[in-house]
Amino acid sequence: MAPLPAGIRFIISFSRDQWYRAFIFVLTFLLYASFHLSRKPISIVKGELHRYCAALNEGDVEFSSRSRRASDTPRHQPPDNETDCSWAPFDQDNYQQLLGALDYSFLCAYAIGMYLSGIIGERLPIRYYLTSGMLASGAFTALFGLGYFYNIHSFGFYVVTQIINGLVQTTGWPSVVTCLGNWFGKGRRGLIMGVWNSHTSVGNILGSLIAGYWVSTCWGLSFIVPGAIVAAMGIVCFLFLIEHPKDIACSSSLVAHSRGHENGAHRFRLQKQVFTDDENKPLDPEIQCLLLSDGKHPVHQSHVVVLPADGGGSMAAISFTGALRIPGVIEFSLCLLFAKLVSYTFLFWLPLYITSVDHLDARQAGELSTLFDVGGIFGGILAGVISDRLEKRASTCGLMLLLAAPTLYMFSTISRMGLEATIAMLLLSGALVSGPYALITTAVSADLGTHKSLKGNSHALATVTAIIDGTGSVGAALGPLLAGLLSPSGWNNVFYMLMVADACALLFLIRLIHKELSCPGSAAGDQVLFKEH
């Protein structure tokens, strides 16, 4: 018999369950990356919306002529426009406040909608809920870009479009985190979700490159193309997303041929039992069901896990106030408020800052700003690895926040010394700013959503995730707005605001950090807040 090809041997070396988990990991990664891809164009296009006015006011002839290079593209201006601006209504002296108001409209709607989204998402099928949100988001992202082709100069049009887009995008985060939490247990959750959360940076990078490709010639396409991508991914979601392992009879801990039985009230699966160090108690059945098996140990007939059925015997979804009573939810939510304030200020204003400091055009600034997201990928993974190894989520976040504040000060100073200094500080700042943000929105949210106080209620994850990310989104709305108000008085004031925000984020974690460090058993596997129970 001929030996099997290497590729086939690789495929069969993984179980059916492992392949499904890998598929869900990649699919949810791409789905949420497309959401972030559609949020990035506004930050890239800002430098184009006021380009001509800036050129005339500053007397930069070269800068103006470079922005006019697209001779085949009409310069859409209202006939009564007395200035040489690229687009009204952003041709006024208060254009930075107007651009900040666009950011605030989107992010404020996103923050308000997020509190409701998790509660709604717990009660609707994830696949339908997420699909509808992605299709709507794609439509309203593209609608913003159609303002270019239809010569729309109404500020209200762009604000309303941003508000509705912010509301429909709240369907994304609770849905994908809940789906991933259904498929993966707590083992090495920080690493798994740290890698998975790099979708934020990947989406930002792709969004910057796609929007930057058209920004100087036809900025409407900088919105229409990302909108089409989000809508297309919504169709992919509808066709392929599997919400829970039980939907495809995924075996719990057996690699293959596990025997399952149902009696209408409970699901029975034969499997080996997994114990923790905490008084020899077994893991939560829902978590044990999702753990990968090593496939080496025999399964005994007596080891039976009983899981609630889908019918009336299952637990009800948790209430909003019930989720707030979970230990750690309030502290991490307030910490994320300030951490996300910093992250989203960079997301929406970094390209314009680079344009002002390094005197690059909108496309070059957009491409350079992707280095912040590259640093964010490494920061998120590093935070996950460290928190898994130390089993101290709050302490890991606190350390990175402590280092981020002086790094931001260095950024405001060193980035003015040239392009090379800007590149180095973008990578370092991206890692330290995005690390805590990534850890809290993924591993910490999933830990809290499956906290021992819930007594196995698996319906809390989307609500807890929405509360934490919704509170963080309040900061995400305030950050760009404050940047728009402070930047006319100098970019140094913006960086001072960001440093204060980092310090506030750290303060809200002090109590949790103290509890983690004062618990001698935390290093042995029992986290103060998140015991594997």
Q: What is the mean pLDDT of residues 335-355?
A: 88
Range scoring the smallest mean pLDDT among 26-40, 146-160, 205-219, 232-246: 205-219
How many angstroms separate the CA atoms of 440 and 474, rounded? 15
Whether 267 shows a pLDDT value over 90: the answer reads no
Q: What is the mean pLDDT of residues 269-297?
A: 43
Closest CA to 27 of 238, 322, 206: 238
Q: Which residue has the higher pLDDT, 296 or 433?
A: 433
Give the per-residue pLDDT at 104.
Answer: 87
Whether 302 shows a pLDDT value over 70: the answer reads no
362 exposure class (CB count in 10 Å sphere: 0-12, 13-18, 19+): buried
Whether 262 shows a pLDDT value over 70: the answer reads no
Q: Which residue has the higher pLDDT, 226 or 525?
A: 226
Q: Which residue has the higher pLDDT, 128 or 518?
A: 128
Q: What is the pLDDT of residues 493-507, one digit of tens each?
A: 999 999 999 999 999
How many angstroms separate the CA atoms of 194 and 468, rounded? 17
Q: What is the mean pLDDT of residues 92-102?
A: 83
Q: What is the mean pLDDT of residues 415-423?
A: 78
Q: What is the pLDDT of residues 350-409, one digit of tens each?
A: 888 888 776 777 778 888 888 999 999 999 999 988 988 888 889 999 999 999 989 988
Q: What is the pLDDT of residues 168-189, one digit of tens each?
A: 999 998 899 888 878 876 656 6
Q: Which residue has the higher pLDDT, 518 or 338?
A: 338
Whether 447 shows a pLDDT value over 80: the answer reads no
What is the SS3 assignment for 152-203? CCCHHHHHHHHHHHHHHHHHHHHHHHHHHHHHCCCCCHHHHHHHHCCHHHHH
Give the per-residue pLDDT at 51.
Answer: 66
Range scoring the smallest mean pLDDT among 100-104, 137-141, 250-254, 433-437: 250-254
Contact 35, 230 (CB under 8 A): yes
Closest CA to 361 of 98, 152, 65, 100: 65
Whether 305 shows a pLDDT value over 50: the answer reads no
Whether 56 shows a pLDDT value over 50: the answer reads no
Q: Which residue has the higher pLDDT, 87 or 393?
A: 393
End-to-end CA gap in the chain? 49
Residue 302's alpha-carbon distances to 270, 289, 322, in angstroms, are 8, 16, 36
Which amino acid is residue 149, in one-letter code? Answer: F
Question: What is the separation of C-alpha 353 from the centre of its chain, rounded to a whole number of angstroms?
Answer: 23
Give the per-residue pLDDT at 466.
Answer: 80
Whether 415 shows a pLDDT value over 80: the answer reads no
Q: For tokens 């006015």, what's the residue?
A: 53
Whether 512 shows a pLDDT value over 70: the answer reads yes
The count of C-alpha atoms lying within 13 angstroms of the C-alpha of 400, restricted to the half-sphere facing its C-beta, is 30
Contact 378, 431 (CB under 8 A): yes
Kindly state the percentage of the chain with pLDDT values over 90: 31
Q: Which residue has the higher pLDDT, 158 or 58?
A: 158
Other beta carbons less than 10 A from residue 262's beta carbon? 11
Task: Name the 3-class secondary structure at 222.
Answer: helix
Whether 449 shows a pLDDT value over 50: the answer reads yes
Give the per-residue pLDDT at 379.
Answer: 92
Q: In what order do the strands lie in the sheet with 266-270?
A: 260-262, 266-270, 304-308
Give the per-residue pLDDT at 525.
Answer: 36
Kindly state the percentage of the chain with pLDDT values over 70: 73
Q: What is the mean pLDDT of residues 329-355?
A: 89
Give the per-residue pLDDT at 247.
Answer: 87
Q: Which residue has the higher pLDDT, 235 or 94?
A: 235
Give the per-residue pLDDT at 329.
Answer: 87
Q: Which residue has the higher pLDDT, 267 or 403?
A: 403
Q: Which residue has the higher pLDDT, 151 or 77?
A: 151
User: What rounded mean pLDDT belongs to the chain?
Assistant: 77
Whether 68 shows a pLDDT value over 60: the answer reads no
Domains and CATH numbers, the chain: 6-247+316-518 (1.20.1250.20)
How many angstroms separate the CA atoms of 284 and 185, rounded? 10
Give the per-residue pLDDT at 220.
Answer: 94
Q: What is the mean pLDDT of residues 145-155?
A: 93
Whether 8 shows a pLDDT value over 50: the answer reads yes
Whether 264 shows a pLDDT value over 80: the answer reads no
Closest CA to 110 of 483, 466, 504, 497: 466
Give the per-residue pLDDT at 529.
Answer: 41
How many angstroms separate the CA atoms of 132 and 492, rounded? 42
How many angstroms separate the CA atoms of 439 and 381, rounded? 9
Whether 274 shows a pLDDT value over 70: the answer reads no
Highest mean pLDDT among 16-20, 65-69, 139-143, 440-444: 139-143
Other beta carbons less than 10 A from residue 176's beta carbon? 25
Give the per-residue pLDDT at 444.
Answer: 84
Give the per-residue pLDDT at 454.
Answer: 56
Give the per-residue pLDDT at 154.
Answer: 92
How many angstroms separate the CA atoms of 94 and 96, rounded? 5
Highest mean pLDDT among 73-87, 293-307, 445-459: 445-459
Q: Roughly what angle, to the nearest 10 degrees, separates helices 362-390 and 41-49?
A: 150
